[in-house]
Structure formats: structure tokens, C-alpha cells
Amino acid sequence: MVNNKLKEVEFHNMILLFLLYTFVYAISVVTRVSSSEFMGIDPQSIVTAINELTTPPYYNMNDSYHSKYYGWTYFSLNFLVVLIAKCMGFNSEFEINVLIRSVVYIIGACLVLSLYIFSREIFSKFVSFVLVLYFMFDPVVSHYITLIHPEALGMTLQILGCYFLIRFYKGGGENSWIFYFSIILLSLSSLAKQPFFIINFFIGCIYLKFLADKLNLSYRNIISFFLHSVIIFLACFLIIHPYAFIEFDRFILAQSELSSGHSSGSMSEVLNIWFSEYSKSLLFFFHTVVLVLVTFSRDKNKYHFISLVTVSLIVVVFMYKSRIFINLGYLFPLYLLAFVNITYFFVKYLKINNIYNKSLVSIILVLVPLNFLSNFFFSVFETQHKYYIDGLATKNSIWNYIKTLPENTKIAYSPNIAVPNPYKSIGCHAWQGCAKSTDLRKYNPDVIVYSPKYTFFESDEYTNYINKYGYILVSTVSPAPEVNYTCSSTSSVGEGKGVENTFYFFNIPRLVSNISRCIDSYKLSILQKKKSSLTGLESMYMRGKVIET
């Protein structure tokens, strides 16, 4: 009878988490799906790569821009889903985009539910529920579980892999298939993105050490487990990305480009930027504090302490490897371990038995709920306002204007411009052939469409070329000036509007006011949809020689 009631509570918790997730995030399935051109830069590239996998030569991830670098498990999953859909007659861009976004939604739901199941191996029902609830609306997490990107899948597989590792450990090493199944899951997680490979490698090595201590394994047994794990990983790698072996030179070249492209900056130059990013995260602030407190604790749990140290070391490695594009999103693969480390400390160590602990508990009881509410309202706004303003962006207006041009018009454009076919097929992208004024001179465009204030390309090269060769202003598209979203988050990941300050999570008055600002911004999104007001971050300019429409 008692067991049935406990199972009922467990089931109700999972249903409630799923409903909350669906209420906030399900709307993303039908947002920006009319064309991939209206998606963000990475999602657009990923959707293109997925579609290219289903055309000859089939399943060659080395042939597409995004899939040659990372995300192989994610691309493999979407390849199967999209291929089946196309075989069933679903071929329109709208249908494929909705399908790919549906996969994102399902992965996010699996991530939330698997984290709850995993946390129940360590914590109580109440603690597990609170942990998942806070996790689900963390601004970095909410960014990735609605984004067409491989991180959410990598973390879901990582969580499930760790769950089965714990089950194998608690079972005393019986049923070795559980261990090998967990290695398959961790291997697939590692193939989702390289940071997961680093983390999962550390998890596997530390786990084998603790398993050896528990079961008194010989060195021969440890080596056997390790070698079998390597074989399983290589087998998964071969199945998921066979062209990495068939075209090994191309694969290595892509990985070399990826590594050098993210690590070319000087560490001394980016240290302050990384500190600023790190200090915007309540999660990693608490993790650092917990590491210091546990280090000087006399009754520390060795598993917990090693996990704290491991996460901190990997943070340093990730910061070192990410010296060009700097934001908290690069630490997302560590979120599982960081959340578990902090929660374990609060549950196992923090006893209200002295003035110091009472003070710390008081701070936590104020900061955590306020940050949660601020994050929750930010996540609701950031996800759902994209639906309300869908079709109202400046790039939509430029898109419609471009479609009035003759089909043989040669267009050079900045990365934030959406260009329809057939213009795109003969056009020249600022990242793919038209970066410099010399490239523009060689291409000799009829029309240039760009945003001078868009920072992720060399706009000065475009402006200089325009001035030198006398391109006249044909059209300007600007966002409505009265639109001003003030809802912000504690992190700089995603498309949050507003200025993010260092240690924002300590600013109680601002946290309280941000809840109100997010509600007002949400209302503004609805009003903007009713008025059909243009949105966007930058004005877009079309300049040309002689335009015939």
C-alpha cells in the first residue's frame, strides 16, 4: 500500500514536470518554421545539413558545413526521422522544419524526465522535483532545450548513461549488460558534441576507480572494462559517423579547423571576459563556494569532493579552449554534474546548527526562489514572444522585397539576411565567399543587402566597397522604435533583451523588478503581433547599381 502511494507521487511529479515543460516550451515547435532562413544562423545551417544528409551522397557528414564539425549523434537521429518522413511523402520545407522542431521538443522532454529519474537515485522525491524545476528554467538550459542544436541530446544521453552506471554500482556489479548499455549511451552522448566526450571520459575513469574499490577488482578486470568501453565507443562512432573513418583526412582537417578557430585568442585577453560570464551564473558561483567549503570540511564525501574538483578543472579546460566565442553556453555540458554537486551539498552538509549555517540557509532561501521566478518568467517570455513576433522581423520584410527583383539578380549579403531561392543559389554570403571588399569586387554584385551594425562580419569592408563603387540606397528596413523589451536574464546566452550585470543574481531589487518587466514584455509581444510592428536588432539596408523591379 505504501509502495503504491510512493509510486503514485513519483508518477504525479513526472506528469507535473512534463506539463510545465509543455506549457512553456511546446510553442517552439511551430515557431519560425515557414523557412529555415528565418531561423538563427546555427539552426539554419543545421537544418540545411540535415536535409543534405538525405540527398546523394547519403549520410556523408563530412560534406555539410555543420555536420563535419560536431553533432553527429544529433544529425544521425534527425537523418533517420527526416528520411522516414520523406519516404512517407512529407517533403515540403514547412513539414520538415516542424518535424525537426518536434524532435527538439521531444529531446527536451526526455531531458527533463530523465534528470528526475536520475536524481531519484541520489535524492528524495521533493529534492529531485525542486532540482529539476530549477534546472528546467535556468536561462542557459531554456536556451538549449528549444534550440536546433545537439547539446540537449548530448546531455539527455549523458544523464541516462550515468543513471545506468549508478544502477550497476548499486547492484554490486551484477548484470554486466547494464554497464555496457551505459557505455553505449555515454558514447552516443560523447558523439553529440566534443565537450561531452571530455566530461564522459572523466566520468568513466573515476567510475572505474570507485567500482574497483567496491568490488575489489583486479587490474586485469579494470583493463578489461576499459578496453571493452573503448571498443564500444569506436563501434558507435563507426555506425554514427562512418565517413570519419572512410574520409579520415577530411575528418581530421575539420576537427583541426574547429579547434584552432575557437582557441586562437590569447587567454590573458579573454580572462576578464570569462570572469564576467562566469560571475553571471548563480549555478557556478554556488559551485565555487561549495568547492571551497567542502575542501576544508573534515567529513567530506570523497565521491562528492572528486566530482567538485573534476567539474572545476573541466571548467578551466573549456575556458581555455573557448577563447573566441565566449558565453556560458560552452559550460552547458557541465550542468548535470554542477547541479548534482550543489544539491548534494545542501542536502548532506548544510545543517542548521550554528550561526554560519543559519546565515547561509537564509541567503539561499532568498536568492534561489527569486532567481527561479526571474528565470521562469524570462524563459516564458523568451520562448513564447518568438512565436508572437514570427513573421514580423526586419528580415521578413527584406525577404519579401528581394522576391520582387529579377531572378538573375546577383546579391551579396551579411549573415543576418534571409535570402530566398533562386537568389540564394547565385548569391554570395559574407561568410562564404564575400568577406572582403576584394571578394565583392570579384563577385561584382548587382545588389548588396547588409546591416552595418551586425557585429559578426566585417561590415566596414562592405561599407567601403559601397562607397567606392557608388551603390545607391534602394530600401531601408528598420524595427519599430517604440518596441523595447526590458525582460533580461542572469546569463548572456540566447536572445535576452537588456543589459546583464556581473553578480546580477545578488541584486534582489532588480530580480523582483525583472519579474514585472518580463510580464510587461510578454504583453508587449502580444500587442506587437496585433499591430504587426516590425522587430529586429539591426536596421537592414539594400543598395544597388541599377535595380529593375
Together in a domain, 156 and 207: yes
Q: What is the pLDDT of residue 282?
A: 85
Q: For residues 314 and 317, what is the distance between their CA atoms, to the nearest angstrom?
A: 5
Together in a domain, 308 and 413: no
The answer to the question of residue 350 being in a domain is yes
Together in a domain, 207 and 282: yes
Task: Looking at 389-422, list the stretches that DSSP marks H as alpha helix, in order from N- to C-terminal side.
Answer: 394-402
The answer to the question of residue 531 being in a domain is no
Q: What is the pLDDT of residue 549?
A: 42
Q: What is the pLDDT of residue 153?
A: 98
Domain span holding position 146: 2-384
Together in a domain, 310 and 457: no
The last residue of a domain, from among 384, 408, 437: 384
Nearest to 207 by CA among 245, 156, 169, 159: 169
Q: For residues 150 and 132, what is the distance between their CA atoms, to the nearest angstrom?
A: 20
Together in a domain, 372 and 450: no
Q: Under a CB-based contact definition with an 8 Å cutoff, are residues 486 and 498 in contact?
A: yes
Look up residue 27 and give its three cell numbers: 510553442
Q: For residues 258 and 69, what is the distance between their CA atoms, to the nearest angstrom?
A: 7
Look up residue 235 and give its three cell numbers: 563501434
Total number of domains in the chain: 2
Amino acid letter at 247? E
Residues paired with 411 in a beta bridge = 447
Nearest to 131 by CA among 361, 367, 372, 491: 372
Q: What is the pLDDT of residue 4?
A: 59
* pLDDT by 10s per residue, the chain, length 549: 445 555 666 889 999 999 999 999 999 999 999 888 888 879 989 999 999 999 887 899 999 889 999 999 999 999 999 999 999 999 999 999 999 999 999 999 999 999 999 999 999 999 999 999 999 999 999 999 999 999 999 999 999 999 999 999 999 888 899 999 999 999 999 999 999 999 999 999 999 999 999 999 899 999 999 999 999 999 999 999 999 999 999 999 999 988 876 666 666 677 777 887 788 888 898 899 999 999 998 888 888 999 999 999 999 888 887 766 777 888 999 999 999 999 999 888 777 666 777 777 787 888 889 999 999 999 999 999 989 888 877 888 888 889 999 999 999 999 888 898 899 999 999 988 999 999 999 999 999 999 998 888 999 999 999 999 999 998 888 887 656 788 888 664 434 343 445 677 788 888 899 999 999 999 988 988 888 777 766 788 888 875 444
Q: How far apart are the first and last CA of the chain?
A: 77
Q: For residues 460 and 436, what is the distance between their CA atoms, to the nearest angstrom?
A: 9
The two beta strands, 540-544 and 447-450, are antiparallel
H/E run at residue 350: none
Q: Under a CB-based contact definition with an 8 Å cutoff, are residues 59 and 65 in contact?
A: no
Q: Under a CB-based contact definition with an 8 Å cutoff, are residues 415 and 378 in contact?
A: no
Spatial strand order of the sheet with 472-477 comes to 428-429, 411-413, 447-450, 540-544, 472-477
Name the DSSP class of 150.
S
